[in-house]
Amino acid sequence: MDFEPTIVSFLCNWCSYTGADLAGTSRMKYSPNIRIIRVMCSGRIDPTFVLEAFKNGADGVLLCGCHPGDCHYQSGNYKCLRRYNMLKKYFVQLGIRPERIRLDWISASEGKQFANLADSFTETIRHLGPCKIKNVIETYT
C-alpha cells in the first residue's frame, strides 16, 4: 500500500485559519492528510507542540501564520519564525529530517495558496517516507 503521511498543522486564527476556511468555502480540493489545530497566533506554537505531534506519530508538521507585518498581535509570527529556525537545528540533532517541519505565511484571502501548500507539503513528506521517531521513542522508553 502507498504510504499516506499524517500531517499536523498549526494555524493562527486571524489569517491562516481563515485562509484555510476560504479554501473550503471556495470548494478547492486538497489532500486529506493535513489535520488542523487552531491557535490564536502563530506565536502560541510552543516547540513542545511540534515535538508532541512527532512523538504521537505525525510524519510532518506545518506551521502557518499571517504574513510578516500582518500579525494580528503585531509580532507573534516573527517569534514563530525564530522558534522554527531553532526547531530545525534541533531536529537535525534528534535525527529528524528538518524538511519534516515547514513554516509558511497564509493570509485570510489565500485559500488557493493554502490548498497548494497542503498538497506540496504532503508530497514532500510522502517522498521522505514515514517518520520513525515514534517507534524510536517507544523502543527506548
Partner 1 sequence: MEEIKIGVYVCWCGTNIAKMVDVDQVVDQIKFLPDVAVARNYKYMCSDPGQDMIIRDIKQHHLNRVVVAACSPRIHELTFRKALAKAGLNPMMFQMANIREQVAWVHTDREKATKKAVSLVHAAINRVKWHESLDKRTIEVNPATLVIGGGVAGMSAALEIANAGKQVYLVEKSKKLGGYAAQLDLTFPHFYSARQLIKPMIRHVEDHKNIRIFKPMQINQIFGYMGNFQSTLQLANGDETKLKFGNIIVATGLQPFDPSEITSYNYGKLPDVVTSLEFEKMLAKGRIETCEGKEPKNVAIIHCVGSRNANYHEYCSRTCCMTALKFANQIRSALPESNIFDLYADMRSFGKGCEELYTQTSRKNVIFLRFDQQNGLPEIRSTNGEEAVSMLIEFTEQFSKEQVEVPADLVILMVAMESHADAKDISHIAGISMCGNSFFIEKHPKLDPVATTSDGVFIVGTCQAPKDIPDSISQAKAAAARVLATIHVGTIEVDVITATVNEDICCGCQTCVSVCPYKAISFNKEKGVSEVNEILCKGCGTCGSTCPTGAIRSRHFTDQQILSQIQGLLSPDNKFEKM
Question: From the list 19, 43, 60, 111, which residue makes contact with ligand FES (rule: CB under 6 A)?
Answer: 43
Closest approach, Cβ 8 to partner 1, in A, equals 6
**Minimum distance from CB of 27 to ligand FES (Å)?**
24
Distance CA 73, CA 64 (A): 15
Using an 8 Å Cβ cutoff, are 9 and 36 in contact? Answer: yes
Among partner 1, ligand FES, none, the one that 52 touches (CB under a kind-dependent 5 to 8 A) is: partner 1
| Residue 58 found at the interface with partner 1 (CB under 8 A) | yes
Decide if 79 contacts 43 (C-beta within 8 A): yes
Partners of residue 9 on adjacent β-strands: 36, 62
At closest approach, how far in Å is the CB of 124 from partner 1? 19
Residues 22/108, Cβ–Cβ less than 8 Å:
yes
> Judged by CB, which is closer to partner 1: 25, or 93?
25
Told to check if 89 binds partner 1 by CB under 8 A, we report: no
Q: Strands of 101-105's sheet, edge to edge?
A: 34-39, 7-12, 60-65, 101-105
Q: Cα angle at 52 between 70 and 61, to 5 degrees?
A: 45
Query: Binding of ligand FES at residue 20 (CB under 6 A)?
Result: no
Residue 114 beta carbon to ligand FES: minimum distance, rounded to whole angstroms = 13
CB 95 within 8 A of CB 140: no
By the criterion CB under 8 A, which residues form the site for partner 1?
Answer: 4, 6, 8, 14-15, 17-18, 20-21, 23-25, 27-30, 32, 35-41, 43-49, 52-53, 56-58, 69-70, 72-76, 79, 83, 107-110, 115
